[in-house]
Amino acid sequence: MFYILLVMIEKIEAHLLKLFEEEEFQDCFVVEINVSGKSKLEVYLDADNGIDFTRCRRVSRYLEEEIEAQEWMDEKYTIDVSSPGVDRPLKFKRQYKRNVGRKMAVIDDEGHKTEGQLIGVDEEQIILEFKDRIKEGKRKKTVVVQKEIKFENIAKAFVKISF
Q: Could you tell me the CATH number of the domain that includes residue 45?
A: 3.30.300.20
Which of 16-30, 84-98, 139-153 is least confident?
84-98
**Res 6: pLDDT:** 81
Domain end, chosen from 30, 58, 82, is at 82
pLDDT in tens, 113-142: 999 999 999 999 999 999 999 888 889 999
pLDDT in tens, 38-57: 889 999 999 998 889 999 99
**Per the domain annotation, does 88 fall within a domain?**
no
**Per the domain annotation, does 32 fall within a domain?**
yes
Farthest CA pair distance, the chain:
73
Do residues 25 and 47 share a domain? Answer: yes
**Per the domain annotation, does 87 fall within a domain?**
no
Do residues 136 and 106 share a domain? Answer: yes
Domain end, chosen from 82, 117, 146, is at 82
Residue 91 backbone phi and psi in degrees, to 5: -115, -25
Contact between 89 and 157 under an 8 Å Cβ cutoff? The reply is yes
CA 32 to CA 9: how far, in whole Å?
Answer: 10
Instruction: Could you list the beta-strand ranges (E) of 4-138.
Output: 28-36, 40-47, 78-82, 103-108, 113-121, 125-136
Do residues 21 and 40 share a domain? Answer: yes
Task: Count up the domains in the chain and report the number.
Answer: 2
DSSP code for 115? E
**Per the domain annotation, does 139 fall within a domain?**
yes
Domain of residue 46, residue span: 2-82
CA 76 to CA 60: how far, in whole Å?
Answer: 15
Contact between 154 and 108 under an 8 Å Cβ cutoff? The reply is yes
CA 61 to CA 55: how far, in whole Å?
Answer: 10
**Per the domain annotation, does 61 fall within a domain?**
yes
What SS3 class is residue 163?
coil
Domain end, chosen from 22, 55, 82, is at 82
